[in-house]
Amino acid sequence: MLKRIALGSLFAVGLVACDASKDVEKYADRACECKDKDCAKKVLEDFVKWMNDHKDARGDEKKAEAAFNKMTECSKKAGLSELDMAGIMQKLGD
C-alpha cells in the first residue's frame, strides 16, 4: 500500500521520463547507510523536499522505482515504520 501511494506521488510529481533517477538512487544509497530510524527519517524528508523542489524532474521510471524500493527497504531495516514513511511521503506536492 505504501509503495502504491508513494510511487503514485513520485510519478505524479514529475519523475517519469533522463537523469533525475540518478538523484533517487543517491537518496537510496544514503538510506542504506543509515543505522537508525532518525537517519532514515532525515533521508526520506530530504528526498521529499528534493521532489517538491524539482517538480519538473525527469528520469528513467524503472530505475527510479527500483531506487525508491531500495530506499524504503533500507529505511525499514533502519527502524522506520511504514506508517512513519507514509506520513513523510504525504508531504509530496506541498
Burial of 5 (0-12, 13-18, 19+ CB in 10 A): middle
How many CB atoms lie under 10 A from the CB of residue 59? 20
Q: How confident is the model at residue 17 (pLDDT cuts 50, 70, 90)?
A: very low
pTM: 0.80
Q: How confident is the model at residue 12 (pLDDT cuts 50, 70, 90)?
A: very low
Range 51-72 average pLDDT: 86
CA-based nearest residue to 50, from 31, 77, 78, 76: 31
Asked if residue 62 lies in contact with residue 19, where contact means CB atoms within 8 angstroms, the answer is no
